[in-house]
A and B are shown apart, each in its own frame.
Chain A
Amino acid sequence: MRNRLHLAALATCAAALATCTNNPYPDEDASKKVVYNTFVEAPKTLDPAVAYTTSAHAITGNIYDTLLEYHFLKRPYTLIPGIATEVPEPEPRTDGRVAYPFTLRPDLLYQDDPAFERGGKGRRTRGIVAADVAFELMRIADPAVNSPVIEPFSNLVGFREFSERLTERRKNEPGFAELPVPVQYERVGPIEGVRVLGPLELEILLANPYPQILYWFAMPFTTPVPWEAIEHYDGEEGRGHFADHPVGSGPFRLVQYDKQFRMVLEANPNWYGVRHPEWRAPGATYPDEGEPEDRQAGRLDPAVVGRPLPFLERIESRREKESIPRFNKFIQGYYDASGVIKESFDSVIENDRLSPTMKDRGVRLERSVAPSVYYMGFNMEDRVVGAAAGERGRRLRQAMSTAVDSKEWTRLFLNGRGVPAHSPLPPGIFGYESDYRNPFRTVDLDEARRLLKEAGYPGGIDPDTGKPLRLTFDSYQTTAQGLLQNQYFVDAWREIGLDVRIEASSYNQFQQKVRNGAYQIFSWGWVADYPDPENFLFLLTSEMARSRSGGPNTANFSNARYDQLFEKMKARENDAERLAMIREMLAILETERPWIELFHPEDYALYHGWLRNVKPAGMAFPTLKYRDLDPALREERRREWNRPVTWPAYALLAAGIAIVLPGVRTFYRERQ
């Protein structure tokens, strides 16, 4: 009997070992077109009027359809019609205003949602109308929504006035603030520059020429939003908040949203691309043209060209806070795409190319320079480093700029993943010229020392104190890694004799210092909202100065000629005259040096061979509807790569028995 029990126990152990698997997914999903992604932190909000982070747009961009969108393959980025029938042409008016007429496609439906019961019993969806776009624009203007993009939409005629009327009535009219939001908007009246001309016709009227407004209609901020969803998801009676319950009309819909754990998108059967493939709408059909490299990369495969979208059934995003387990699961084939983590960089990339091991696994590397810039800035209102110091301050900034080697910095801290920046404009943006070399961004310590001498600080010595000139570098980087990264710059300045002290504080304290103007040098970054030089060069206009308007010009740079050129440049198409203006603006920045431009980050993304139609977008615009995968190949590879190694378990068991058994025998022998 006892022997039988032992045998049964051993058999159970053996069976348990035989069924061991590291596959984190149910077996039934193996043959489905499900893409597995990861996220570190869930977005704070999925409200399209508010969500502004890349991680949020990765979700909202696929749930909410936009009037316009970007061509998947063409570079430079090109706008194509989304749920609008065409990209509108500007219609200048005699009073200097500019109108953009939009027409929505007919028979567009929202995803099914219980919120639509508000419009009629048993209703699960309804058609999209132009008024839904106007409603969303009112939400952006509503101060209570806290949209971060109020500024660009202030170009709409009557936008600010709507906001003021709403605030006024909420403040002064008893009971008004308690009314449902759509009712409040209705009572306040529309935004003057957003005119609903018919069920599907909408006209946008701008007070001044602002061609970049079209890019905003390719972002989820301007998506049609059903008033029923805003009214329904008010957080009362267990209904949750609209920020967690997106109700859109895009190619996917959110079916599971657990911020701690998992987000699941599923193909939306109500999407116009699914219901009307015969339209062959540009945003609902795989493109048939792109760049020459797209053909080489298989992105213009005749098998997919012209096919209706989307190809995927589901997208599962699982929370992975730790980078190493996340990367290991990619290597095991359980995630379809990954970035390159610092810890594994050398085993993945060899001589700037994919390592043979990775190539053998069928992994592809896609590199792209993000449309963003990282920089250090000087507070131009500071009496030592700023404009008030006149030529002395200018020379000091030039000297400090010439001493900083950002190429070496990216090599040390980012495995070289960054293009040294010579101006605020990154590659791929109109006005970027690859042969342009900023003399003050070309490292030359002797030149830096000479400039410092001209500034009146020979050898870095401040004549007032007889000691090295002491400056402060304010940073919100408080981690050991962050401090080390900043120390690199401080050491570079020490080489030319300056005594720069890092003052690291929490992000909030740092923000407080910025608000109070109590800073000299800082570091920051900017990621483009849309691919236009205006979206970078506005960061240094007087109007955007932090001290004046709380805008993003933290350097508080103010130059009349620069502002004048900016106003002209932003309203022009990409032509030679615009390029000339940009060149002049960059020349001003080159001399004045409110920034030390550091680098434009380069993204390295890895994809398994079974994932198809992948093209790094740089900006956060949705591309999931174009992706496809081969589940059979994936399953085959996963099985091949993940066979459990069971012999150590048996060896361990045998070793345990070998150790214990003689002891037991000896014990009983001695007892007897």
Chain B
Amino acid sequence: MLAYVARRLAYGVLTVFGVLFFLFVLFFTVTDPDDIARRALGEKALPEVIQQWKVNHGYDRPLWPWQDFDDNMLFEHYRRMLSFDFGRSDTDDSLITERIRKGAGPSLALTVPLFTLGLVVGITLSLLVAFFRETYIDSAGVFLCVLAMSVSILLYIVGAQYLIAKMLRWFPISGFDPNPEVIFRFLALPIVVGLMNGFGSDVRFYRTVFVEETGRDYVRTARAKGCGEGRIMMRHVLQNGMIPILTRVVLAIPFLFTGALLLEAFFGIPGLGSLTVDAIQGNDFSTLRTMVYIGSLLFILGQILTDVSYSLADPRVRLE
């Protein structure tokens, strides 16, 4: 397995190099560093101030190695990203590492409970509908899932803010406060929206897995031996259905750090998702390329973790 992981890591490194090159081309060949500087400093900025800003941000070098092999933006871009020295934001000069550090807490405060509850709710409901398969509960479940999947998350957000926060006044409409006394109030509504948005596809997928498992020989054998339906579902079906579930779950874990873009943006949670949206809106290329780079690293990590978790969950799977 170690050899497999090492090979995947090597592929991952190559992918990261490719992503970095793509990012460089995307950001620096279509935008003039002078424009970035002018946006940050204002139209009235003097040429020497613009030049100094470019020096501070490393944008004063030639773009390509063939223009200056020892000192060029491409190599500098690779050096910075690979050494996790992300530099400063293009918009306000703040350290990007510091912004990421500050944003990770609020993001995790939202995504970890959302992920955990989503998993619990998804598996519980799918076990329920699989248990009551081919009854009207199953049909109602399928109908609700398809309905939930068909609605845009934006509608859930606006609807929940209007109905739950404004009309019923259960939670604040938006905002965030890390104070333990009030943090739950702010997280409740985005978590409810996140669950509403995600449960449809999760339950449909898990139900398919569990229904398929319930038709297998070992279930019939267990039932013949007098095992109760509840025990069959919880002990046998759930355990054997874990592999496809792991695919979805493990792949999602690394992305808990990058936050939930829309939920954070609309509910005013100052996490990494919100940071990314702000970077897009504010043309903050340095922050944006960092977030894209981190996203790609986490994706590769998620892929490797998924493969490893396969072999751990199912002894029949061998990584070679």
A253 close to chain B: CB less than 8 A: no
From A404-412, A446-454, A559-567, A643-651, give the one contacting chain B: A643-651
Q: In the complex, A320 Cα to B267 Cα: how many Å? A: 9
Residues of B150-188 at the interface with A, using a CB-CB cut-off of 8 Å, are 161, 165-177, 179, 181-182, 185-186
Name the distance in Å between A516's Cβ and chain B's nearest Cβ. 14
B171 touches A22 (CB 8 A): yes
Query: B-contacting residues of A (Cβ < 8 Å)?
Result: 17, 20-27, 41-42, 44-45, 52, 143-144, 146, 148, 167, 235, 241, 243-244, 258-261, 318-322, 324-325, 328-329, 332, 334, 507-508, 511, 550, 642-646, 648-649, 659-660, 663-664, 666-667, 671
B175 touches A260 (CB 8 A): no
Question: Please, which residues of chain A bring their CB within 8 A of the CB of B320?
Answer: none
B212 close to chain A: CB less than 8 A: no
Since A320-B174, A644-B168 are in contact, a sample of 14 more A-B pairs with Cβ atoms closer than 8 Å, ordered by chain A residue number, is A21-B169, A21-B185, A22-B169, A23-B185, A41-B282, A44-B91, A144-B48, A241-B94, A243-B92, A260-B102, A325-B173, A328-B166, A511-B38, A659-B140
Question: Please, which residues of chain A bring their CB within 8 A of the CB of B179?
Answer: 26
Q: Count CB-based A-B contacts (< 8 Å).
A: 135
Interface 1/0 per residue, B252-280 and A, CB below 8 Å: 00000000000001101010001100100
Question: Please, which residues of chain A bring their CB within 8 A of the CB of B161?
Answer: 324-325, 328
Interface 1/0 per residue, B137-155 and A, CB below 8 Å: 1001000000000000000
B171 touches A260 (CB 8 A): no
Name the distance in Å between A518's Cβ and chain B's nearest Cβ. 16
Question: Please, which residues of chain B bring their CB within 8 A of the CB of A332?
Answer: 166, 169, 173
A508 touches B39 (CB 8 A): yes
Q: A260-B275, A511-B38 are in contact. Are A26 and B182 (CB under 8 A)?
A: yes
Q: In the complex, A261 Cα to B178 Cα: how many Å? A: 11
Name 26 interchain pairs, CB-CB below 8 A, sorted by A. Answer: A21-B169, A22-B171, A23-B172, A23-B185, A25-B177, A26-B177, A26-B181, A144-B49, A146-B45, A148-B44, A241-B94, A259-B92, A260-B103, A321-B268, A325-B173, A508-B35, A508-B39, A550-B44, A643-B169, A644-B168, A644-B170, A659-B140, A663-B132, A664-B137, A667-B135, A671-B229
Q: In the complex, A328 Cα to B265 Cα: how many Å? A: 17
Question: Please, which residues of chain B bring their CB within 8 A of the CB of A329?
Answer: 172-175
B244 close to chain A: CB less than 8 A: no
Q: In the complex, A288 Cα to B38 Cα: how many Å? A: 46
B71 close to chain A: CB less than 8 A: no
Q: In the complex, A17 Cα to B168 Cα: how many Å? A: 11
Which residue of A is nearest B93, CB measured?
A241
Most interface-central of A21, A144, A146, A664 (chain B CB within 10 A): A146
Question: Please, which residues of chain A bring their CB within 8 A of the CB of B282?
Answer: 41
Question: Please, which residues of chain B bring their CB within 8 A of the CB of A325?
Answer: 161, 173-174, 268
Interface 1/0 per residue, B23-66 and A, CB below 8 Å: 00000000000010011111111101100100000000000000
Q: A322-B174, A508-B39 are in contact. Are A22 and B165 (CB under 8 A)?
A: yes
Which residue of A is nearest B45, CB measured?
A146
Name the distance in Å between A323's Cβ and chain B's nearest Cβ. 11
The 8 A-B residue pairs with the shortest CB-CB distance in the complex, in nearest-first order: A260-B270, A261-B270, A663-B137, A24-B172, A20-B170, A325-B173, A146-B49, A325-B174
Q: In the complex, A258 Cα to B92 Cα: how many Å? A: 12
Name the distance in Å between A639's Cβ and chain B's nearest Cβ. 11
Name the distance in Å between B26's Cβ and chain A's nearest Cβ. 17
B92 touches A45 (CB 8 A): yes
B136 close to chain A: CB less than 8 A: yes
Q: In the complex, A663 Cα to B179 Cα: how many Å? A: 44
Q: In the complex, A258 Cα to B266 Cα: how many Å? A: 18
Q: A146-B41, A319-B270 are in contact. Are A22 and B173 (CB under 8 A)?
A: yes
Name the distance in Å between A149's Cβ and chain B's nearest Cβ. 9
Residues of B2-36 at the interface with A, using a CB-CB cut-off of 8 Å, are 35
Q: A322-B174, A508-B35 are in contact. Are A143 and B168 (CB under 8 A)?
A: no
Name the distance in Å between A641's Cβ and chain B's nearest Cβ. 8
Query: A-contacting residues of B (Cβ < 8 Å)?
Result: 35, 38-46, 48-49, 52, 91-94, 99, 102-103, 106, 132, 135-137, 140, 161, 165-177, 179, 181-182, 185-186, 229, 265-266, 268, 270, 274-275, 278, 282
Which residue of B is nearest A508, CB measured?
B35
A143 touches B46 (CB 8 A): yes
B182 touches A645 (CB 8 A): no
Q: A644's contact among B44, B169, B278, by CB below 8 Å, is which?
A: B169
B52 touches A144 (CB 8 A): yes
Question: Please, which residues of chain A bring their CB within 8 A of the CB of B48?
Answer: 143-144, 167
A664 touches B167 (CB 8 A): no
Q: B42's contact among A26, A146, A644, by CB below 8 Å, is which?
A: A146
Name the distance in Å between A589's Cβ and chain B's nearest Cβ. 24
Question: Please, which residues of chain B bring their CB within 8 A of the CB of A17?
Answer: 170
B93 touches A322 (CB 8 A): no
B92 touches A24 (CB 8 A): no
A22 touches B268 (CB 8 A): no
Question: Please, which residues of chain B bring their CB within 8 A of the CB of A24?
Answer: 172, 175, 177, 182, 185-186
Name the distance in Å between B139's Cβ and chain A's nearest Cβ. 10
Q: In the complex, A23 Cα to B229 Cα: how many Å? A: 45
Which residue of A is nearest B99, CB measured?
A260
Which residue of A is nearest B158, CB measured?
A324
Name the distance in Å between B178's Cβ and chain A's nearest Cβ. 9
Q: A645's contact among B93, B137, B140, B169, by CB below 8 Å, is which?
A: B169
Which residue of A is nearest B171, CB measured?
A22
Question: Please, which residues of chain B bring their CB within 8 A of the CB of A143?
Answer: 46, 48-49
Question: Please, which residues of chain A bring their CB within 8 A of the CB of B40?
Answer: 44
Q: A24-B185, A27-B181 are in contact. Are A318 and B92 (CB under 8 A)?
A: no
Q: In the complex, A443 Cα to B41 Cα: how many Å? A: 40
Q: In the complex, A261 Cα to B91 Cα: how many Å? A: 16
Question: Please, which residues of chain B bring their CB within 8 A of the CB of A23?
Answer: 172, 182, 185
Question: Please, which residues of chain B bring their CB within 8 A of the CB of A148?
Answer: 42, 44
Question: Please, which residues of chain A bring their CB within 8 A of the CB of B135?
Answer: 663, 666-667
Q: A642's contact among B42, B140, B169, B265, by CB below 8 Å, is which?
A: B169
B168 touches A648 (CB 8 A): yes
Most interface-central of B102, B172, B179 (chain A CB within 10 A): B172
Question: Please, which residues of chain A bring their CB within 8 A of the CB of B181?
Answer: 26-27
Q: In the complex, A646 Cα to B229 Cα: how many Å? A: 36
Q: In the complex, A291 Cα to B270 Cα: how many Å? A: 43
Question: Please, which residues of chain A bring their CB within 8 A of the CB of B175?
Answer: 24, 318, 320, 329
Q: In the complex, A648 Cα to B42 Cα: how many Å? A: 52
Q: In the complex, A177 Cα to B52 Cα: how many Å? A: 12
B171 touches A20 (CB 8 A): yes
Q: In the complex, A622 Cα to B178 Cα: how many Å? A: 29
Q: In the complex, A320 Cα to B250 Cα: how many Å? A: 34
A244 touches B140 (CB 8 A): no
Question: Please, which residues of chain A bring their CB within 8 A of the CB of B169?
Answer: 20-22, 332, 642-645
Question: Please, which residues of chain A bring their CB within 8 A of the CB of B136?
Answer: 663
Most interface-central of A22, A25, A332, A659 (chain B CB within 10 A): A22
Q: In the complex, A167 Cα to B49 Cα: how many Å? A: 11
Q: A322-B266, A663-B135 are in contact. Are A44 and B92 (CB under 8 A)?
A: yes
A260 touches B173 (CB 8 A): no
Question: Please, which residues of chain B bring their CB within 8 A of the CB of A322?
Answer: 174, 266, 268
